[in-house]
Amino acid sequence: MSTDALRTRAAALDERHQATDLRERFALPDGVVYLDGNSLGALPRAVVGAVSDAVEVQWGRDLITSWNTHGWWDTPRRVGDRLGRLVGAAAGQVVVGDSTSVRLHQALHAAAALRSDRRVVLADPATFPTDLYVLDGVARQVGWIVEHVTPDEAPARLAGSQDVAAVVYSHVDYRTGRLWDLPTVTRAAHDAGALAVWDLCHSAGAVPIGLDEHRVDLAMGCGYKYLNGGPGAPAFLYVAAEHHDGFANIVPGWHGHAEPFAMSGGYRPAAGIDRARIGTPPMLSMIALEAALSAFDGVDIAAVRERSLSLTAFLRECIDVLVPGTAYASPDDESRGSQVAVRHPDAYGVVQALIARGVVGDFRTPDIVRLGVAAPYLTHADMLTAADHLAHVLAADEHLDPAFTTRNAVT
Ligand SMILES: Cc1ncc(COP(=O)(O)O)c(C=O)c1O
Ligand SMILES: Nc1c(O)cccc1C(=O)C[C@H](N)C(=O)O
């Protein structure tokens, strides 16, 4: 197929998926194909006004009264409920604030307390490093033995076992983009009396998750990737309603107290998901995330996923035509999340050369050109543009230029 034929196909596909083209809701620079929304999502237009109001009116004019008059106090739960729709959680089970690492720490301690008679926890050795670090830290604190078992291997390990307290998995692998089978692994965990804890960083806002439907116990994820909450956006924590009474908050700060302003000397947890709160939330970032979530208004996450599958399939088709013989780390079928991961021995240079051409992806060690596809603001035409630039970079050996191979980028 020629580039012209691909262009015609891109136009037809964009026409077919017009209902989920939400690009107008985002402010993106001209001439850039942004394929790093799985690290830092693009800026939703609604955030600009919301943050400006938060600074000038809420903070600048209304000062401390904003905790009441602008609903600041309830933000963690209010934004949590709004986010809950995107991850399949009914109201009152998601709280927003703090970082993913902190939320994971809380969730793991809560899981250990809920299954205090068991000692083993299963985790994927290839998961994002912070998950391994936090897990090892908690394991040392609670006496857990961490077994490295991939999500695929988990059902066999769990079958007939009685020693596993919890499984802790990422829904989508940050490097390969592999979407793991959350329903099957969660069911296998439950059949063995274990809890299922999921890191949703790379699926929230991109893939239907169905937390309630699949009876996930605890889950957390970033606010700054596909949810577009901005750099350092607050994370979220899901605690299934059935665990609220038994949820022991390892960081029992005063915002999770039943009567915070009683200022009593002893901790008494609030009812429901509020007991997972810790301390003062970063209000400007909370307001930014709340506004960012409005970019999903009126859109079902299943429709976002449908668009994403079409975009990633087309991106791969374009690469296969324009760069024959390309090797991939990401799956070819529906077991991929919302990214295409290309393997290349000079992946770092390829990524830098692409960025210089306005195609922004990222490098993940050792050999991955990671192309994240945030469906709401990308088109099939963008996919072709990206593949076309990749072909040009490789044809002209731009990726070998010392300007692109010197490793000086942190991300
Ligand atoms: C799977 C996963 N977990 C956790 C994190 C990050 O956690 P934090 O926001 O606490 O740095 C990331 C990305 O940075 C991630 O990809
Ligand atoms: N959280 C990040 C950061 O603080 C700096 C740079 C990148 C990030 C990321 O989100 C990386 C991302 N989790 C990944 O999947 O690689």
Annotated catalytic, 136?
no
Residues with CB under 6 A from ligand 1: 99-101, 128, 130-131, 170, 174, 199, 201-202, 222
CA-CA distance, 224 to 293, in Å (whole number)?
Answer: 11
48-296 shares the fold of 3-30+299-405 = no
Spell out a b/e string for 290-325, using b for 16 or more CB atoms within 10 Å of the CB, else e. Answer: bbbbebbeebebebbbbbbbbbbbbbbbbbebbbee
Residue by residue, DSSP assigns 332-357 as SSTTB-SEEEEE-TTHHHHHHHHHHT
Q: Measured from the CA of 202, which atom of ligand 2 is nearest?
A: 15
Strand order in the sheet with 368-372: 327-328, 339-343, 368-372, 362-364
Q: Which amino acid is at 340?
A: V
CA-CA distance, 82 to 86, in Å (whole number)?
Answer: 8
Q: Are 363 and 370 in contact (CB under 8 A)?
A: yes
Q: Is the dihedral of CA 53, 57, 63, 64 positive or negative?
A: negative
Which residues 6+ apart lie within 8 Å of 229 measured at CB?
A: 41, 223, 285, 288, 289, 292, 293
What architecture is the 48-296 domain classified under in CATH? Answer: 3-Layer(aba) Sandwich (3.40)
Annotated catalytic, 128?
yes
Ranges of each domain in the chain? 3-30+299-405, 48-296
* ipTM for the whole complex: 0.98
Annotated catalytic, 363?
no
Half-sphere exposure of residue 117: CA atoms within 13 angstroms, side-chain side: 3
Element (H, E) at 383: helix 380-395
The residue nearest atom 13 of ligand 2, judged by CA position, is 39
Closest ligand to Cα 236: 1
Residue 26 phi, psi (nearest 5)? -120, 150
Assigned token pair, 14: 């964009």
Angle at 22 between CA 16 and CA 25, to 5 degrees: 160
Annotated catalytic, 224?
yes
- pLDDT per residue as tens, the chain (411 positions): 789 999 999 999 999 999 999 999 999 999 999 999 999 999 999 999 999 999 999 999 999 999 999 999 999 999 999 999 999 999 999 999 999 999 999 999 999 999 999 999 999 999 999 999 999 999 999 999 999 999 999 999 999 999 999 999 999 999 999 999 999 999 999 999 999 999 999 999 999 999 999 999 999 999 999 999 999 999 999 999 999 999 999 999 999 999 999 999 999 999 999 999 999 999 999 999 999 999 999 999 999 999 999 999 999 999 999 999 999 999 999 999 999 999 999 999 999 999 999 999 999 999 999 999 999 999 999 999 999 999 999 999 999 999 999 888 777
**Please, is 163 exposed, middle or buried when counting C-beta atoms within 10 Å of its C-beta (0-12, 13-18, 19+)?**
middle
Q: Are 137 and 129 in contact (CB under 8 A)?
A: no
Q: Are 310 and 380 in contact (CB under 8 A)?
A: yes
Q: How far is CA 269 from CA 93, 250, 277, 384, 404, in A?
A: 15, 11, 9, 53, 53
Catalytic residue (one of 36, 81, 131, 199): 199
pTM for the complete prediction? 0.98
Which residues 6+ apart lie within 8 Å of 345 measured at CB?
A: 367
The CATH fold assigned to 3-30+299-405 is Aspartate Aminotransferase, domain 1 (3.90.1150)
